Amino acid sequence: MVTEECDLLGPAEAMHPAEAALVERAVERRRREFAIGRQCARRALARLGVTGLPLLAGPNGAPLWPAGLVGSITHTHAGPAGFCGVAVAARQDVVALGIDAEGADSLAPALWDFVLTGAEKRRLDGNTRAGHLAKLAFVAKEATLKAVLPSAGQPLDFRDIHVDVAPAEDGFVAEVVVQVENLPPDMRRCVGRFARHDRIILAAVVVPNRGEPASGPERPFVGFHAMC
C-alpha cells in the first residue's frame, strides 16, 4: 500500500483533459480540490508503476481506480493549510480501503439524527464529550462507507453503520447493520484507526485480502504516511 498527501494551498498540477471535463462546471474551490486530489493520486499510482491514465469517476463520484487496484481520496479545508490524502493498494493485498479527514471540532447536534444510530445517540447521553465522540463516529463512518460501497451494490447511509470507538480513541470497529446481499462477510465488520494532525482527525479502514479478520493499520501516524 502507498499513500500520498499534500495541502490545499500549494500549486495544483494540470489535470488530464478527461479529468478536467468531470469538473468543468464546478465552482473554483471544487475544481481545485479535485485537481489536487488527482495530483496526489497520480503520485501514489506512479509508485505502483501506473502512469499516463486519467483517474475518472463513477456515477456516485467515487474514483474509478485502474484494474487490480483499490484506493481512496480525502480532503478537508480544516487545519492551517487544509489537507488532501490518498491511499492506493494492489487488490491482491487489500480488497477494500477507505480514508477520511475532517476538522477536529465537535459534530453539531443538529447533525446527530442524520449521522448516528439510536444506540449510538443513547450511548452519548450525558457524556460531556458527546460532540467530540459524535465527530469520531462521523469520520469513522465516512471512511467505512468509502471502503464498502464499491462492493455493496446498493446505497448505504451513515445510520446503516454502527461504530464503537476504542476507549483510547485511537481506533474503532464499524459494523454494517442492514442487510446487504452482495457485501462479503469480511466487509460487514471493519476495524479502523484514528489519528490527529494539525487540528484534523483522520480515519482509515483497510480490509486485507486474506481469510482472517482485518486488524486495520498497524499504528497511529504523525501526518498520514504511517497510517495505512
Q: What is the CATH number of the domain that holds 145?
A: 3.90.470.20
Q: Check if the beta carbon of residue 190 is closer than 8 Å to that of residue 181.
A: no
Residue 214 in any domain: the answer is: no
pLDDT of the residue at 218:
37
Indicate the number of domains in the chain.
1
Residue 79 in any domain: the answer is: yes
Q: Check if the beta carbon of residue 65 is closer than 8 Å to that of residue 90.
A: no
Handedness of CA 220, 223, 226, 228 (dihedral sign): positive
Point out the residues of the chain with pLDDT beneath 70.
211-228
Residue 220 in any domain: the answer is: no
Residue 152 in any domain: the answer is: yes
Q: Quick one: DSSP state of residue 210? A: S
Residue 57 in any domain: the answer is: yes
Residue 186 in any domain: the answer is: yes
The whole domain housing 73 covers: 2-208
Residue 68 in any domain: the answer is: yes
pLDDT of the residue at 227:
52
pLDDT of the residue at 214:
42
Q: Which residues contact 145 (CB under 8 A, 6 or more apart)?
A: 98, 156, 158, 161
Residue 188 in any domain: the answer is: yes
In the chain, count of helices (H) and strands (E)? 5, 8
What's the rounded Cα separation, in Å, for the pair 154 and 149? 7
pLDDT of the residue at 213:
43
* Cell 475544481 belongs to residue: 31
**Which tens digit of pLDDT belongs to each residue from 191-207?**
999 999 889 999 999 99
pLDDT of the residue at 212:
45
pLDDT of the residue at 10:
86
pTM of the model as a whole: 0.91
